[in-house]
Chains A and B, each alone.
Chain A
Amino acid sequence: GAGVSQSPSNKVTEKGKDVELRCDPISGHTALYWYRQSLGQGLEFLIYFQGNSAPDKSGLPSDRFSAERTGGSVSTLTIQRTQQEDSAVYLCASSQSGYQPQHFGDGTRLSIL
């Protein structure tokens, strides 16, 4: 079946612009996660959605980062006023429920000029 789908696969933008990254989880998966992967830092947790519960936003690095999940399915990660240090691969994962294994998409490669 279809896996986690992320778009765009690559995004280049100028410093100070806003960007939106999209994630379509595996159908039927109630849990959705965003991570960031940068050189030297490994994978870092950003935010977690589970069903209709309030999201766990504890990993968001600043208030320039926000995410929403509409209808319990698609999620959008928004970065406002991008900075060069935001350059990274942003990965989305989903799981059937909170304690099930997480399955990842191929990520969005974000480059800030």
Chain B
Amino acid sequence: QKEVEQDPGPLSVPEGAIVSLNCTYSNSAFQYFMWYRQYSRKGPELLMYTYSSGNKEDGRFTAQVDKSSKYISLFIRDSQPSDSATYLCAMSARGNNRLAFGKGNQVVVIP
């Protein structure tokens, strides 16, 4: 079992819809949780960074962490064609700074 599971299936939504992405993980030591956005032939760009459980909102983006269920989510409201990209979840444990990544979700927002 991989440390971080993210269903890589492509996701197509109409413009204006809510995009919902999630990851599960197995390592209970993970305390830092991130979402990255990656455009084609570019490096991952940090979108959201949260510590431990709870919600964090930044503009149209909301990140949720449920440590009891080992489950994290990213919601994108009022999705735009410019949101079309691959979204990667990542996490790390205190004392171990390497990031463990999910495989990424390709999102296509259709105008």
The prevalent SS among residues of A at the interface is: strand
Min C-beta distance of A46 to chain B, whole Å: 9
The residue that A31 contacts in the complex, of B41, B44, B49, B97, with Cβ under 8 A, is B97
Min C-beta distance of B84 to chain A, whole Å: 18
What class of interface size applies to chain B in its complex with A? 20 to 34
What class of interface size applies to chain A in its complex with B? 20 to 34
Q: What does the 1/0 interface line of A92-113 toward B look like (CB < 8 Å)?
A: 0001001101111111010000
Cα(A56)–Cα(B92), bound, Å:
15
Cα(A31)–Cα(B97), bound, Å:
9
Cα(A3)–Cα(B27), bound, Å:
31
| Chain B residues near A56 (CB-CB < 8 A) | 97-98
| Chain B residues near A99 (CB-CB < 8 A) | 32, 94, 97
CB contacts under 8 Å to A, within B30-83, are: 32, 34, 36, 41-46, 49
The residues of B with any CB-CB pair to A shorter than 8 Å are: 32, 34, 36, 41-46, 49, 88, 90, 94, 97-104
